[in-house]
């Protein structure tokens, strides 16, 4: 029988109503007590390194989880992390970069309603996560939610209340879970032949700048001394607006000359970016050769930038790390990249 470590971190799944609204209050042991069926297929130990609304989960907590899994890696067959849904996709992507080549599954799950309510998705999601983590084909970092198993770098929360809150973006789900049965669409654990690789550094000085019509590059100028990288969430397949003064062009040049990273992404969820299509993108790309997200999710782009900068500040080495696929995060990179 497989031995699984359940890591409780708070979130809606572990919340109760208080005077100020829902807040985490249910212990890891209480979570397990709500799903007695798990004993038929696994043994579970519990730990709670922190208990937070996921709004308050970020790089510090990602490192706590990474360190915990690294310490316990040889003692368990898999890990299930109960987590709030609002930043779950960021945590799943971050752990994908921090914990690589892991043949033992790291599963992240949660719910849209607390587990102690009669009408909740929490019990199903938690049981599904334990069941997936016990399967011999399971590996890597994945998000299990609403009957889907999604690669940690491909998950995005697209619904704020519905039980099918998460989608797999620009990549098929790894598997589906129906009536306690797993059906794998992607079964490639045999490809993992390198030893476990755990990273302990992230650069938190990454700024996400969402373009809106009529904005100028002065916003980027104001942020330059405070960040090591800026990710520009552009329109459509990607481009930089021209305000008649070339303020964005000048701002990007100042970042590049200061040794900082400028990464191009898109506000469009599906199908990704390609700055070579329109003049507004091609001119900037030809001038600065900026790293581009292509088919990556925004969550993956942000956390991969943090991770890559944590490993190197050399622009070419950063570019190589950024364009090396990790946990199915990147399918299409033109030769020019």
Query: 195: how many CB neighbours lie within 10 A of its CB?
Result: 9
107: three-class secondary structure by DSSP: strand
What percent of the chain stands above pLDDT 90?
A: 80
- pLDDT at residue 52 in the model: 95
Query: 184: how many CB neighbours lie within 10 A of its CB?
Result: 16
Q: pTM of the entire structure?
A: 0.95
Average pLDDT, integer, range 177-201: 95
Same domain, 172 and 242: no
Q: Where is mean pLDDT largest: 31-35, 173-177, 178-182, 251-255? A: 173-177
State which residues form the domain around 154: 2-198
Q: Is the pLDDT of residue 64 over 60?
A: yes
- pLDDT at residue 258 in the model: 94
- pLDDT at residue 148 in the model: 98
Query: 91: how many CB neighbours lie within 10 A of its CB?
Result: 26
- Supply the CATH number for residue 11's domain: 3.40.50.1170
Same domain, 72 and 97: yes
124 falls within a domain: yes
DSSP class of 169:
-
Q: Which of 155, 153, 169 is nearest to 86 (CA)?
A: 155
Q: Give the confidence band of 335 by pLDDT, cuts at 50, 70, 90.
A: low
Backbone angles phi, psi at 305, to 5 degrees: -65, -45
- pLDDT at residue 246 in the model: 86
- Given 9, 12, 87, 124, the catalytic residue: 12
Write out pLDDT tens, residues 262-302: 999 999 999 888 888 877 878 888 888 899 999 999 999 99
- pLDDT at residue 214 in the model: 87
β-bridge pairing 99-100 and 78-82: unpaired
Q: Where are the beta strands (DSSP E) in the chain?
A: 2-8, 15-18, 21-24, 42-47, 78-82, 99-100, 106-109, 141-145, 148-151, 155-157, 166-168, 175-178, 181-184, 197-198, 206-210, 229-234, 261-266
332 falls within a domain: no
Q: Is the pLDDT of residue 165 over 70?
A: yes
- Supply the CATH number for residue 232's domain: 3.40.50.40
β-bridge pairing 206-210 and 229-234: parallel
- pLDDT at residue 238 in the model: 87
Based on the structure, what is the number of domains in the chain?
2
Same domain, 182 and 222: no
Q: Is the pLDDT of residue 333 over 80?
A: no
For the question of residue 55 being annotated catalytic, the response is no
Same domain, 267 and 234: yes
Residue finishing a domain among 148, 173, 198? 198
Write out pLDDT tens, residues 79-116: 999 999 999 999 999 999 999 999 999 999 999 999 98
- pLDDT at residue 100 in the model: 98
Inter-residue contact 276 to 257 (CB < 8 Å): no
329 falls within a domain: no
Write out pLDDT tens, residues 118-134: 999 999 999 999 999 99
Same domain, 97 and 216: no
330 falls within a domain: no
276 falls within a domain: yes
Q: Give the confidence band of 334 by pLDDT, cuts at 50, 70, 90.
A: low
Cα torsion 291, 294, 299, 301 to 10°: value is -20
What percent of the chain stands above pLDDT 70?
A: 99
- pLDDT at residue 337 in the model: 47
Rounded Cα gap, residues 228 and 214, in angstroms? 25
Inter-residue contact 9 to 82 (CB < 8 Å): yes
Same domain, 145 and 248: no
Same domain, 45 and 154: yes
- Retrieve residue 76's tokens: 């368990």
Same domain, 125 and 262: no
Inter-residue contact 152 to 96 (CB < 8 Å): yes
Q: What is the mean pLDDT of the chain?
A: 93
Q: Report the range of poorest mean pLDDT among 60-69, 214-223, 274-283.
A: 274-283
327 falls within a domain: no
Same domain, 249 and 226: yes
317 falls within a domain: yes
337 falls within a domain: no
Same domain, 194 and 226: no
Same domain, 153 and 276: no
Rounded Cα gap, residues 106 and 81, in angstroms? 8
Same domain, 152 and 79: yes
Residue finishing a domain among 142, 165, 198? 198
Residue finishing a domain among 149, 175, 198? 198
* 276 burial level (CB within 10 Å; 0-12, 13-18, 19+): middle
């Amino acid at each position: 029988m497989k031995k699984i470590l359940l890591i409780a971190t708070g979130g809606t799944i572990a919340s109760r109503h208080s005077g100020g609204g829902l807040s985490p209050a249910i212990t890891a042991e209480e979570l397990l007590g709500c799903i007695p069926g798990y004993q038929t297929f696994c043994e579970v130990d519990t730990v709670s390194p922190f208990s937070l609304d996921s709004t308050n989960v970020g790089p510090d907590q990602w490192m706590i989880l990474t360190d915990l899994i690294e310490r316990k890696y040889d003692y368990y067959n898999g890990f299930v992390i109960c987590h709030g849904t609002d930043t779950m996709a960021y945590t799943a992507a971050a752990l994908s970069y921090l914990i690589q080549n892991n043949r033992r599954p790291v599963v992240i799950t949660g719910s849209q309603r607390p587990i102690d309510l009669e009408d909740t998705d929490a019990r199903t999601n938690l049981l599904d996560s334990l069941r997936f983590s016990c399967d011999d084909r399971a590996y890597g970092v994945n998000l299990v939610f609403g009957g889907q198993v999604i690669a940690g770098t491909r998950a995005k929360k697209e619904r704020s209340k519905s039980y099918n809150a998460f989608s797999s973006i620009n990549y098929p789900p790894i598997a589906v879970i129906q009536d306690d049965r797993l059906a794998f669409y992607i079964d490639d654990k045999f490809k993992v032949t390198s030893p476990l690789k755990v990273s302990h550094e992230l650069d938190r000085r990454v700024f996400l700048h969402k373009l809106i019509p009529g904005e100028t590059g002065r916003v980027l100028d104001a942020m330059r001394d405070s960040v090591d990288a800026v990710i520009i969430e552009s329109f459509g397949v990607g481009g930089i607006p021209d305000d008649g003064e070339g303020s964005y062009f000048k701002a990007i040049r100042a970042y590049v000359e200061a040794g900082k990273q400028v990464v191009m992404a898109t506000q469009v969820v599906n199908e990704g970016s390609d700055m070579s299509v329109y003049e507004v993108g091609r001119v900037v790309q030809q001038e600065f050769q900026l790293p581009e997200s292509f088919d990556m999710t925004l969550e993956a782009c942000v956390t991969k930038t943090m991770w890559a900068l944590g490993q190197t500040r050399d622009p070419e080495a950063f570019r190589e790390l950024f364009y090396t696929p990790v946990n199915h995060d990147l399918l299409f990179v033109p030769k020019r990249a």
